[in-house]
Amino acid sequence: MTMLAIDFKEQVLRLKKERNAIILAHNYQLPEVQDVADFIGDSLALSKNAAATDADVIVFCGVHFMAETASILCPNKKVLIPDLEAGCSLASTINADELAAWKQEHPDAVVVSYVNTTAEVKALSDYCCTSSNAVKVVNSIPADRKVLFLPDMFLGSYVAEVTKRKNMYIWPGECHVHAGIKAEDINKMLATLKNADFLVHPECSCTSSTMYHMAKGDLAQKGHILSTEGMMKHARTSGAKQFVVATETGILYRMRKENPDKEFIPVKEDATCRYMKKITLEKVYNSLAHNVYEVKVPKQVADKARLAIDRMLAIS
């Protein structure tokens, strides 16, 4: 006797209703996962949705630090991540002990942590930020205060350049996907696609050189340094018909779906996050069906981390 194949999409939608669950998916998730999500966005948008939801269960289709953030913001809700191995190469570049030691070297500094960090690191931070509000967060800090910015060195360099801040110290971390997107790849592509809008994420290793070329006028008005949600908004509102995109390729699905009359070309076809891609539709079903895997941040850590996250949300 043969087993009938499970229609995972149908079952996920059924279980979601039965359990009063909400599914949050990052822009880099697989298309099949995005298709069952209630909200799709960048980490800031998803944090806001997690904080505002009246659902009993949050299934977070992203990486582990994002589920932790949802748990911190929603301590009375059950937060699930469909795969415990969905980590983050950037978040793993600094731990709480390393941050504590760094703070001892600069005792009067204000600590700004990118959301791509563990709950323990957030608990030692004064502010969190995302790529879409990092400049605003740093600008909100008095100019005479030192800033420790972590863990992304490319985003940190970008923020330091935009804010013109001379007392900013930057942790040398990087995202394995964005670090692989190089200026030469972009210049080669833009040379042949002269009418395309160029969208680049500030975590890319090419950001500093991109800013230089933009300042010199080499890219005219075509270069835009944006968060993933900023890219989505620009794609919708721009009059351009062709876009060159420098970030993880998962975003292309949503871009093409929302803008069927426009063309989106990745700078690197293989710019994929192996951690984001660990979550599949079958794992989302398994998560809802069997209550796995719950992410719960201990109260003493969550209370401290929540302060830094709340400050971020207030500024954004």
Same fold, 8-85+276-296 and 91-175+303-315: yes
273 in a known ligand binding site? yes
206 in a known ligand binding site? no
Distance CA 182, CA 203 (A): 11
Distance CA 2, CA 236 (A): 47
All residues at 6 or more sequence positions from 151 whose CB lies less than 8 Å from its CB, including other chains: 90, 91, 93, 94, 113, 114, 116, 117, 121, 171, 173
Annotation: CATH topology of 8-85+276-296? Rossmann fold (3.40.50)
20 in a known ligand binding site? no
What CATH architecture applies to the domain 178-266? Answer: 3-Layer(aba) Sandwich (3.40)
Distance CA 43, CA 168 (A): 24
227 in a known ligand binding site? no
Instruction: Please give the pLDDT value at position 220.
Output: 44
204 in a known ligand binding site? no
Instruction: Please give the pLDDT value at position 5.
Output: 65
Q: Which tokens sit at 246?
A: 């420098």
88 in a known ligand binding site? yes
Domain boundaries, the chain: 8-85+276-296, 91-175+303-315, 178-266
Give the model confidence (pLDDT) of 4-54 as tens digits.
Answer: 568 999 999 999 999 999 999 999 999 999 999 999 998 878 888 988 999
Distance CA 183, CA 181 (A): 7
All residues at 6 or more sequence positions from 165 whose CB lies less than 8 Å from its CB, including other chains: 138, 143, 147, 159
Instruction: Please give the pLDDT value at position 56.
Output: 96
**Radius of gyration over every alpha carbon of the chain, rounded to an integer in angstroms:** 20
Instruction: Please give the pLDDT value at position 2.
Output: 42
Distance CA 155, CA 62 (A): 20
The SS3 assignment for 184 reads helix
Amino acid symbol at 216: K
Annotation: CATH topology of 91-175+303-315? Rossmann fold (3.40.50)
Distance CA 196, CA 184 (A): 17
115 in a known ligand binding site? yes
| Bond before 151 cis per omega within 30 degrees | yes
Distance CA 156, CA 217 (A): 23
26 in a known ligand binding site? yes
Instruction: Please give the pLDDT value at position 99.
Output: 98
Q: For the whole prediction, is pTM greater than 0.85? A: yes
Buried b or exposed e, range 295-313, using 16+ CB within 10 angstroms? bebeeebbebbbbbbebbe
Instruction: Please give the pLDDT value at position 313.
Output: 86
Instruction: Please give the pLDDT value at position 112.
Output: 98
131 in a known ligand binding site? yes
| 39-41 sheet: strands from edge to edge | 39-41, 21-26, 57-61, 78-80
Distance CA 45, CA 253 (A): 18
Q: Which residues of the chain have pLDDT under 70?
A: 1-5, 207-222
74 in a known ligand binding site? no
Continuous segment of H or E residues that includes residue 34: helix 31-34
Instruction: Please give the pLDDT value at position 214.
Output: 60
